[in-house]
């Protein structure tokens, strides 16, 4: 029976690690989708599906970490770079799973008593997070730099929504009585932090594809991230 050469074994290992990473992306994306739909509809059964997905993300993170540790020695520079990128992506998704589980646990307790404007903003944040996870998965799978940069632009919208919620509940300039502020603030913070992890994942994909850090990459195209975001908004409104 023919056996794989050392190079062939490394290629097969790298492909396996890549497939595990893609699976983790899909699980994280589905968890964010369950959170978005669950908070929007108030269906607790959707929020309860986050826990098994978080457990699966933990399992995949451990498997990827073990596989990278085993196979990175002796790998080519290109394969080693991809393995390390996969490990960083899996760490980000494992943390996102933790944050989404914390969100869903609070939502199960408090969502039915949240005000409609809070439900609206949390739904928008979770939906944007779901879209960012889909885009970062596609960027990684297709080695698409534009899609990775689109994720960086999208994070600003999550930050904007977080600021709206924080002003409403923490500053409360109108002195309006707000229900469930404690839970709402922590749920908002969980989604914002999850967005930061997806942003970090997108930066890792940028580095994998271009060989440059995001800072150097943006300098090379001579356009700051904020300007790219404004350009995206103008294009959207024009359409």
pLDDT per position as a tens digit, 10-39: 779 999 999 999 999 999 999 999 999 999
Token pair belonging to 151: 């994720």
Burial of 64 (0-12, 13-18, 19+ CB in 10 A): buried
Domains in the chain: ranges and CATH: 6-238 (1.20.58.220)
pLDDT in tens, the chain (239 residues): 445 555 667 779 999 999 999 999 999 999 999 999 999 999 999 999 999 999 999 999 999 999 999 999 988 999 999 999 999 999 999 999 999 999 999 999 998 899 999 999 999 999 999 999 999 999 999 999 889 988 988 899 999 999 999 998 887 766 677 778 899 999 999 999 999 999 999 999 999 998 877 765 555 555 555 555 445 545 555 55
In tens, the pLDDT along 131-165 reads 999 999 999 999 998 899 889 888 999 999 999 99
Sign of CA pseudo-dihedral 59, 64, 65, 67: positive
The count of other CB atoms within 10 Å of the CB of residue 172 is 12
Dihedral sign of CA atoms 83, 200, 55, 125 in order: negative
Helix (H, G, I), strand (E, B) or coil at 74: coil
CB 151 within 8 Å of CB 199: yes
The separation between the first and the last C-alpha atoms of the chain, rounded to the nearest angstrom, is 60
């Amino acid at each position: 029976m023919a056996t794989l050469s050392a190079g062939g074994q490394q290629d097969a290992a790298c492909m396996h690690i890549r497939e595990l990473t893609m699976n983790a992306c899909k699980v994280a994306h589905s968890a964010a989708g369950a959170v978005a739909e669950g908070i929007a509809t108030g269906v607790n059964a959707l929020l309860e599906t986050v826990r098994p997905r978080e457990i699966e993300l933990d399992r995949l993170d451990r498997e990827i970490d073990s596989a990278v540790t085993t196979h990175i020695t002796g790998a080519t520079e290109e394969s080693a770079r991809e393995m390390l990128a996969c490990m960083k992506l899996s760490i980000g998704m494992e943390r996102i799973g933790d944050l989404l589980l914390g969100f869903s646990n609070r939502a199960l307790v408090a969502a039915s008593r949240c005000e409609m404007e809070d439900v609206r903003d949390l739904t928008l944040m979770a939906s944007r997070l779901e879209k960012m996870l889909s885009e970062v998965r596609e960027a990684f799978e297709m080695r698409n730099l534009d899609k990775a940069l689109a994720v960086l632009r999208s994070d600003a919208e999550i930050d904007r929504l977080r600021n709206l919620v924080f002003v409403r509940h923490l500053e409360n300039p109108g002195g309006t009585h707000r229900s469930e502020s404690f839970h709402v603030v922590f749920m908002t913070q969980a989604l914002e932090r999850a967005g930061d992890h997806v942003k970090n994942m997108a930066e890792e994909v940028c580095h994998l594809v271009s060989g440059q850090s995001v800072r150097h990459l943006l300098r090379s195209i001579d356009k700051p991230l904020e300007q790219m975001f404004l350009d995206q908004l103008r294009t959207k409104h024009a359409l």
